[in-house]
Structure 1
Amino acid sequence: MSKVCYGKILVVEDDSAIRETLKVWLNRSGFTTLFAVKGDEGLHAFRRENPDLVILDVMLPEIDGLEFKLHRSI
């Protein structure tokens, strides 16, 4: 039986415990998950992967969440 995918979610979070918790819950819920640890990595992943949703930490290394929002192109 094939796994149902409800969408692609990009999580940009530098805290490994939070990332792992989100990974478990989102994958169990049928979402494809992508992860980035720093804001600049998240911005590149956003542009490359075109996710359906972004879960974005505001306090990130390199580019913070607010700056990420300003740089994204939709």
Structure 2
Amino acid sequence: MAGTHQTEPHSITWYACNEHIEVVLDQLVDEAETAPDLFPCEPEELGTATCHWCGSTPSYRLSAQTNHE
């Protein structure tokens, strides 16, 4: 269809600590316009990942697919 622009989906991954899980979840839903998958952090992630909101050690990994560029 002429003039139609399709974007490839890409993955967004954010991390959240116990204190900020709700606010990070709300922000990611707003950003991705879909509910993310929520997983506990793996031990190997704890050395490099930080909470998206406050920068502390995360407890959760949130991942979502989006068509936004």
TM-score by length of 2: 0.34
Structure with larger Rg? 2
TM-score by length of 1: 0.32
Greater relative CO (CA pairs within 8 A, separation 6+): 2
